[in-house]
Structure 1
Amino acid sequence: MAIEILELHHHAVRMPIDKVEAMGTFYGGVLGLDTDAGRWSIPGIPGYFLDMGNDCQIHLLGSDGPSPYAQGPGKDPVENHVALAVRDILATEAELLRMNVDFWKLDNVAAPELKQLFLRDPVGNLIELHQIGRCRCKRSDRAFADARAAAGATPTTKS
């Protein structure tokens, strides 16, 4: 059985740390994208979550070399990637295991109680899968993440 993808949520763009401010100015000032002010200050990953008019985001992620969340060569979630939402992340994880698909995961890094699964397509593109309704990607669906952050949730600092 295939994984059930519900929505495109974000496209992540990696940049050197010394370019974070210039990139934020470009995407906000030149392209007119609004900054998601509720983005967590993710330890070691400066950047911006930028809202698109179609309720998706672009994530600008600053990192020089492997990020603090890298889990070895080729397993760095700060690489350029596309993020897709699934209905049930635990069922998705079980299905990836059943299909013997190589993946790695992060918990509680980009938003409170958010489990992220990362895998590569056959040519090496990085794909993130996460639970619909648990992320900050959709302006219309931030209630869960905002409530957890207001209650004091903070990012996990180690993978």
Structure 2
Amino acid sequence: MAIKVLEIHHTGYRLDPGAEKLEDTASFYSDVLGLHRDRGRPTIPGIPGLWINVGEVGQIHLFGGNQPSPVAKGPGQDPTLPHIALAVADIVESREELERMGVRYWAIEGLTSPDSLQLFLNDPCGNMVELHQFDKCRCTARNRI
């Protein structure tokens, strides 16, 4: 049985490590594209960045800092690498299904909130995909309050 994906929530890109690029990048998304940063982004030690709101459902997550990041699990297992994030109906069931199907993945728990669980896997071309629990992130406008 396939995992039940409900929505695309964010794409993750890298920022130049320089702190001056952070504000330049925020200005680009605001002044050029008319998008605004999510001021509620949690502080993640060692991972400076921006979350840019895109409509009611969606964000662009921009990650800075040195690579590998402090939360990397190993080579290629760093949530600050470029990726796409999808919301799933049930993250625990999704984890069980990945294990049942023998799909390689890695997990990060408690990074953006104490109860967060993010699963990361790669498609056959090496593109990273993040799975997280629907309605538990700031990617949707209703959760940015």
Quickly name the TM-score band, shorter chain normalised: over 0.9
Cα offsets for 1:64-101 (capped at 9, x unmatched): 22101111101011001000000100000000000011
- Conserved? CA contact 2:15–2:63, under 8 Å: yes
Deviates more, 1:75-84 or 1:17-26: 17-26
Query: Aligned partners of 1:12, 1:48: CA distance in 2, in Å?
Result: 10
TM-score (norm. length: structure 1) = 0.85
Considering only aligned residues, what root-mean-square deviation do their CA atoms show, in Å? 1.3
Query: Which structure 2 residue ranges, 5 or more long, are not aligned?
Result: none
Matched letter for residue 2 of structure 1: A
Query: Aligned partners of 1:93, 1:142: CA distance in 2, in Å?
Result: 26
Matched letter for residue 11 of structure 1: T
Matched letter for residue 137 of structure 1: C
Query: Aligned partners of 1:62, 1:14: CA distance in 2, in Å?
Result: 6
* Secondary structure class of the residue paired with 2:29: helix
2:48 aligns with: 46
1:57 aligns with: 59
* Secondary structure class of the residue paired with 1:17: coil
Q: For residues 8-157 of structure 1, what are the structure 2 equivalents within 5 Å?
A: 8-18=8-18, 19-142=21-144
* Secondary structure class of the residue paired with 2:8: strand
Cα offsets for 1:15-45 (capped at 9, x unmatched): 2221222212211221111111111011111
Query: Aligned partners of 2:57, 2:80: CA distance in 1, in Å?
Result: 21
Q: How many pairs align?
A: 143
Query: Aligned partners of 1:13, 1:24: CA distance in 2, in Å?
Result: 13
Matched letter for residue 16 of structure 2: P
* Secondary structure class of the residue paired with 2:96: helix
Matched letter for residue 11 of structure 2: H
Query: Aligned partners of 1:83, 1:129: CA distance in 2, in Å?
Result: 6
From the superposition, tell whether residues 111 and 30 of structure 1 become closer, same or farther in structure 2 (CA, over 3 Å).
Answer: farther
* Secondary structure class of the residue paired with 2:73: coil
How far 1:114 moved relative to its partner? 1.3
TM-score (norm. length: structure 2) = 0.93
Query: Aligned partners of 1:28, 1:136: CA distance in 2, in Å?
Result: 18
Matched letter for residue 5 of structure 1: V
Matched letter for residue 65 of structure 1: Q
